[in-house]
Amino acid sequence: MACSSGCCGKPASPPPPEQPNSNPASTPDQDDGDSCCDGANTIAGENSDQPGLAGAARDEPIEEDDCCAPKPSAPGCNNKGCCSAPAPAPAPVPKPPRPEDIHKSSCCEGKPAPCCDQSCLDRLALRECEKYACDLTADSSTISTCGRAKDGKPCAEHANKARLTYAERLEALGCICRALIALGQESCCLPSRRPSTGSARRRRRRSKESALRSRTSADSCCVASGADAACCSTKKRPGSRKKNECRSSSDGTEAAAPEPPRIAGSCADSCCAEERPVGHVNEVKEFLSDVANATTDLEKAFARNEKEHVILSISGMTCTGCETKLVRTLGVHPAVRNLKTSLVLSRAEFDVIGAASVVDVMKHLERTTEFKCERVTNKGSSLDILAPDGDAAALINRPWPDGVTEVRLVDKKTVNVSFDPKIIGARDLVRHGWGDGQVNLAPPRPDLTLEAGSRHVRHVGYMTLLSACLTVPVLVMAWAPLPERDIAYDSASLALATIVQFVIAGPFYPKALKSFIFSRIIEMDLLIVLSTSTAYIFSLVSFGYLVSGRPLPTGEFFETSTLLVTLIMVGRWVAALARQKAVKSISVRSLQTPTALLVNDDGEETEIDARLLQYGDVFKVVPDSRIPTDGTVVSGSSEVDESMITGESRPVEKHARSPVIAGSVNGSGTLRVRVTRLPGDNTISTIAGMVDEAKLSKPKIQDLADRVASYFVPVVVALTIITLAVWIAIGVAVRQQPGKEATVRAITYAIAVLIVSCPCAIGLAVPMVIVIASGVAAERGVTFRSAESIEVAHRTSHVILDKTGTITEGKLSVAREWYAEGNQDTTKSLLLGLVGSIKHPVSAAVATHLKTQGVSPSLVSEPKTLTGRGVEGVVEGSGSLLRAGNSRWLNLDSDPEVQSVLSQGYTAFCFTIAGSVAAVFGLQDSIRPDAASTVKTLLERGISVHIISGDDDGAVRSVGAQLGIAETNLRSRCTPSDKQAYIKGLLGGTLSPNQTTKRKKPVVLFCGDGTNDAVALAQATIGVHMNEGGTDVANSAADVVLMRPKLAGILTILAVSEKSIRRIAFNFGWSFVYNLFAILLAAGAFVHARIPPELAGLGELVSVLPVIAAAVMLRWSKI
C-alpha cells in the first residue's frame, strides 16, 4: 500500500491501466536480483553525461527517508514491460524539471502547516559547517571561522547566522523551503546526501541557474502523485548502486527505442506511469517561467526590505575601464541592487537582497575581475578585539554577550564585533563581556575607505621599483658601448625581460582576459598586453635567429618591452599616488581624535581610547585640544573653533548645556562634556557619510565621459591595425624595403600607438573634480549630498528662500499681546498647555514668553500640529476645543486686533477657545546679518530671488522691502503644498516667462530651515537645508546642507559649481588634445618627429597628471 501519512505526498492512486500497444514484459536479470524500480531514490537515465544528474547519482550513496524503507511487493508493478530500459543514446538532452518539482519539496506536500520547525534551522547551519569544512580542504590557506560540527550539531556562529537570517520568515510563514529553492539552494527538508569533497566543489561551481535546473525534488522517491507502494520496494546493497539491465521479453535483446533520460520525481515517474503527453517545448516554457518566478521572489524580498547594505573597499582599480568592469560584474548579479561605485575612492556600495551571502558576492567579484575586496563597517557600534591566546576562531564560537549582533573574523588574532551600544557599552564589552577570557582592544585600523588606495599605491610602488631594477641592466647592455658579445648580452637581457614580462606585467593578462570574457570590455590592460607581448615575442624570435647564426637586420629590442613596462608602472604609480593624496587631503574622518580624558563619578581622570566611550560618560576637554565626540557641556565655559565642521570662522561661546561638536577645537577654557553621540556615529561620521555619498554619485556629464571611454580602446585597436598596414605598404611600395624589414618597422609604430593612447584622463576628468570639490565645500561648511547638485548649481535661475529661520534668525519674540475680556490667567494657562510641547518657532516663542511670566500650564489632551495652520487640542474635563495658529485658518483676518498687528509688520498668532477669539499676539524676528549682501549679490548675477512663507502678508512684505526683493516675487500664507505648486510653476516657466527666454531650462534652488519644507526641498532642482547647530543633519532630505546658519552658503554653492565645471571642461579638452597629438606622433604622421615605442609608456603619466592637478587646484581657489 502507498504512504498515507503525508510525508511522501498525496495518497497513491491506482496504477494506470495497461496500454494495448505496450511492449511485452521484460524479465529482470537474474544475476542482479534488482529491478529498475528498486532503490529509494530512482534516477532515470544513468548513462547521462551530466554530472549534476547521473554522475552524482552513481558516485554518491544516498540516505533514505523513512517513507522509502523496504516494503513488500504489491501488485502495482507487474513487470510487463514498464521497466524496459532504453538503449544508450548519444548525448541525450534531459527534460527540464517541472515547476512543481522546484517549488515544492517533499516535506511540504501533504503535511499540515507549518511544515518547517527549528530543526530546519539547525540543518541549514550544519550544511554551512560542512561547506566551510570543504573550503578548508580545498584551500589550506583559508582562515576558517567555523568551529566545526560536533555530534551532529552546528557551530555557534552558523547556528546564530541561520536564526538571524530565517527565524522571522519561519515564524511568519511556517516554511522556508520556497525561499531556499528560489535562491538556488537545497531545501532544508530534503534528505541530504553525504557530502564528498569533489561533489561539494561541483556544487559550489554551479551557477544559480544550473542549480535551479538540477535541484529538484527527485531526492525523495515518493513525491509524485500516483506512486504505488510496490514501486518503492527496495533491495539496496550498502555502499553501492547496482546498474540494472532491463531486456525485452520478446527476443532477449536490449530495447532499441532510445528514450531521453530524465529526472524521476518518483518511482511512478520512472517506471510505473504513462509517458506524460506534454511536449518538450512546453516543459522548457514551464522551466523558464519557474526561473522567472525565482527572480520575482528576490524582487519581493527587496520590496519587503529584506536587504543588507554592503560597502566594499576595492584594491586594483587603475582606470575607468576597471570601474566599468566592476559595475558590469556586480550589476548582473541577481541579488545586488542600488549599486554605486567610485574609481577615485576605490569603493563599491550596494544592497544584497534576500538570503544571499555577501561572502559569495565578494568571491564572485574577486574571481571574475582579479580585484581584491574587503568589507567596510561604517557603523559606530563595532570594535576590533584581540582574542585571548590569539585564537580568533575560538572566540567566535563562544557564547556572545547580550547586545552583540555579529562577530566577523579580521585575521587569525582579531575579530570585529558589532553590538548595540544601548544594551552593552564598549568598555563593558571588552572588560566583562566574554566571560573568563580577557580580551583587549585591537589597535585602530586606518580608515578602510582610504586604506585600499594606500595599499594599491604601495603595491604598485614596489612593483615599479622592482621593474626599474630589472630594466636598468637591460638598457646598459643595449645602449652602452660594450665589447661585442651579442649572445651573452642578449641571453642576460632575455632572462631579465622574461621576469619583467611575467612577474611585473603578468597581472595584466588575467585582468585583460577576464574583462573581455566576463564583462565584454576591451580596456587599457588589453592595450598593454598586446603592445608589450608583441615587443617581447618579436625580440624572442629575433634572439632565436641570432643563436641559429641568422640574425635579423633589426636585431633584438628587449629594452623596448622592459622599458615600456617600467614606464607604464611609473605612470600608474605616480597617478595613483597623486589621486590618493588628493583624496586624503579632504578626508573629514581625519578630524576624529583617537583618545579621550574620561572623568568618573569620583572626579578621577583616565585617558582611554575614544572608541571605548559609552552613553552617559563624562569626558574632559582641556584647552587647545580637539573634542572627541558630540556631547553637551556639563560644566565650564570656553570658546570653541568649529570652522573645520561648520565653516564658521569666529569662535563660538560654550557654557553649561551648550552642545559641542566632534572635531571642533577647544579654546582657552576647560569643559566637561557628557556624551550624546558615540565616536563613529557622531557629526564627523555623519558629514563624512554625506560627502562620500556625493563622491559615489555620478552627474549626468559622467555618462558622456563613460560613453567616450567605452569606444576609446576599440578605436585605438583599429587605428593600430591601420598604422601597421599603412607602414608595411609604405616600406614595401615607397621605400622599396624587404617585406621583413618593413614589417618590423611597422610593428614599432603599431606598438607606440597602442601604448601611448590613454583613456584614463577621460575617465578621471569628472570624478576627480567631484571628489575634490565635495571636500573643499565641506571645509567651508557646505555639504553636497549629490554630484548632480555640483553639476547644475552654476546654472541656477531662481533662488527661493523661506522666511522664518532662513532669512530671519528664527528667534521670534512677542512684541505685542492682546487678551479678550475675562480671566487672562486661565487663558494664558490653557494656551501654555496647548503650545508648551510644540517645537515650531512661533509656538515656541509664545510658550517662552508665557513661561517668563510665571504661567503654569493647564492639562490639554491630544495636542497636535496641523502643518501650515497651527495647533489644536481639547481641555481636560470640559472638552472645549482649543486652537492656536494663523489668522487665516481661524477665520480672524477681519478681526480689528489682527489687522492692527499685521499693519505693523508683525507675525500674527491667534488663540481661540471653543471658536471664540481669546488672545492675539504680534511676533517679530530679526533678519540675518548676511541676508542683505547675499540677496544683492544674487540679484547682480541676474538670478531671480523669491520669498515664500507661511507667515502673514505684512511680515513677508516688510522683510522683502528691507532686502530689495520685488513684491511680485513674494508669497505669504503658503502651506507646504502651496510652496510645491509655486516651485512647479517656476520650473515650468509659467510664473516667469522672461527668465525662460534667456535660459533653456529653469534651475530652482530652494533654501529652508527644514520646518515644513520637506516637500519644497524635494520639488526644487536643488534643495538646500540650513542646519541650525550642526548636529542633526543625517535625516535631511536636501541635496545640499549648510552646516552653519548663514545665507552666504548659497554663494559658496554657486562658486564651487562654477569652478568645478570649468575644471571638468579643461580636463575634457586636455584629454582630447593629448590623445590626438600623441596618437599622431606615435603613428608617424609627422616626418621629423615621432614617439619611439620604448618611451610611449610615459603616455599615462603625461595624460593623467594635468587632470589630477586641475582638480587639486580647487583647494586653493577663491571660493
Catalytic amino acids? 802
d(CA 772, CA 776): 6
Q: What angle do CA 321, 324, 329 make, to 5 degrees?
A: 125
Helix, strand, coil percentages, rounded to 5, for the chain: 45, 15, 40
**Contact 832/847 with Cβ under 8 angstroms?**
yes
Return the bridge partners of 90, or none. Answer: none
Residues sharing a CB contact under 8 Å with residue 477, sequence separation 6 or more, in sequence order? 489, 492, 493
Contact 1025, 1040 (CB under 8 A): yes
Task: Tally the C-alpha atoms within 13 A of residue 870's C-alpha that lie toward its C-beta.
Answer: 23
Whose cell is 486661565? That residue is: 826
Q: Is residue 61 helix, strand or coil?
A: coil
> Residue 288 gets which letter from DSSP?
H
CB atoms within 10 A of CB 291: 18
Residues 626/641, Cβ–Cβ less than 8 Å: no
Altogether, the residues listed in the chain come to a count of 1119
Which residues, 6+ apart, have CB-to-CB distance to 99 below 8 Å? 286, 287, 289, 290, 293
DSSP notation for 210-246: HHHHH--GGGSTB-STT--GGGG---PPTT--PPP--
The residues, any chain, with a CB within 8 Å of residue 601's CB and separated by 6 or more, are none
Q: What's the DSSP call for residue 870?
A: E
* C-beta neighbour count of 839 within 10 angstroms: 9
- For 926, phi then psi, to 5°, come to -105, 140
Amino acid identity of residue 176, one-letter, is: I
Q: Which residue has the cell 508648551?
A: 836
Q: Which residue has the cell 593612447?
A: 757
CA angle 313, 318, 319 (to 5 degrees): 115
Q: Using CA atoms, how far apart are residues 768 and 1115, in angstroms rounded to an integer?
A: 13
Phi then psi for residue 760, to 5 deg, are -60, -35
**Residue in the block written with cell 520685488:** 966
- Expressed in angstroms, the distance from the first to the final Cα of the chain is 88
Q: 485 — alpha (psi -120 to 50), left (phi > 0) or beta?
A: beta
Helix-helix angle 931-940:1048-1082, to 10 degrees: 40
Nearest to 502 by CA among 474, 541, 465, 470: 470
Distance (Å, rounded) from C-alpha 937 to C-alpha 931? Answer: 10
User: CA-CA distance, 423 to 897, in Å (whole number)?
Assistant: 55
For the four alpha carbons of 1060, 1062, 1067 and 1068, in that order, the dihedral sign comes to: positive
The candidate with the shortest Cα–Cα distance to 266, out of 34, 4, 8, is 8
DSSP state of 909: E
Q: How many CB atoms lie within 10 A of CB 753?
A: 28
Name the 3-class secondary structure at 672.
strand
Strands 782-784, 1040-1042: pairing kind: antiparallel
Peptide bond between residue 659 and the one before it cis (omega within 30 degrees of 0): no
For 977, the grid coordinates are 503644498
